[in-house]
Structure 1
Amino acid sequence: MNTTAEAGGGAAAGRRILLVDDSVDAALALSMLLEAFGHRVRTEHDGTRALACIDEFKPDVVVLDIGLPGMSGFDVAREMRKRDVTKHALLLALTGWGSDADRQEARDAGFDHHLTKPVTIADLEALLK
């Protein structure tokens, strides 16, 4: 399910956020919350579809789960860092994988921040400002 919507308000309004999570319910809930803060959100549920949409969507921020079907979030992040359109986007890992090794692999893959689920909206919004 793809969702692209805009809502008014929010301190960091206008951000284009690509949200990639294989949990449809989690993605829907977070996308609705981000939209309520004024962001434009597109959701994808696997890495291949996320990579396919970036040239058209041009995200400022990518919130990316690591445990995706087929292509891991680590692999998606590495590929995004190679592409001009997402080379300088803010990449946030939002995942249940929270070991020190996971955090290091996230840094090595090109993520700017590693957030372990559940994350508070305050923590997420602070990174989006």
Structure 2
Amino acid sequence: MNTENLKTTAKAPGYRILVVDDNQDSATTLTMLLKLKGNEVHTRYGGRTGLEAAENLHPQVVILDIGMPGMDGYETCRHIRQQPWGKDTVIVALTGYGREEDKRKTQEAGFDGHLIKPVDLASLTQLLDTLFSRERTD
């Protein structure tokens, strides 16, 4: 039996992910791609509904847009971090804001990572794997 084929075809364990983005097309596309990678993915289209879903789902990963009306991604992230279940949640900003100042603001708000739209799925997957492997060694 050729074990190399097993390595390439076996699905990696998936994450429980919540995607929060007011751009429904973008959120739906990302959700479909993440599901194809074997993840359990839930989608919401605003900060408040995202926060409510996170409270119920306790996702391992939250992918948050920043520039949303009402409750923006910064505020949503801060609220998640205040919850006992949210302290260990991996939160990644996925945004069109890419200046150094924007990256600093996401870090200050409690994000673990900052990716710029349009995201490359391989980059997102690599970031999540890196964040989770770092979490296990801390």
- The range that moved more, 51-60 or 20-29, is 51-60
SS at match of 2:84: coil
Supply the AA of the counterpart residue of 2:81: R
TM-score, normalization by structure 2: 0.83
What's the CA shift for 1:83?
Answer: 0.6
SS at match of 1:69: coil
Q: Whole-Å Cα distance in 1 between the matches of residues 71 and 50 of structure 2?
A: 10
Q: Whole-Å Cα distance in 2 between the matches of residues 30 and 51 of structure 1?
A: 19
Aligned residues: 120
Q: Which residue of 1 aligns with 2:87?
A: 87
% identity of equivalent residues = 43
8 Å Cα contact 1:10-1:36 kept in structure 2 = no
Give the alignment's Cα RMSD to 1 decimal: 1.1
Deviating beyond 2 angstroms after TM superposition, the runs of 4 or more aligned structure 1 residues are none
Gaps of 5+ in 2: 1-9, 130-138
Q: Does residue 99 of structure 1 match 2:99?
A: yes
What's the CA shift for 1:14?
Answer: 3.0
Gaps of 5+ in 1: 1-8
SS at match of 1:103: helix
8 Å Cα contact 1:54-1:85 kept in structure 2 = no
Q: Does residue 31 of structure 1 match 2:56?
A: no
What's the CA shift for 1:20?
Answer: 0.3
TM-score, normalization by structure 1: 0.89
Q: Whole-Å Cα distance in 2 between the matches of residues 77 and 100 of structure 1?
A: 19
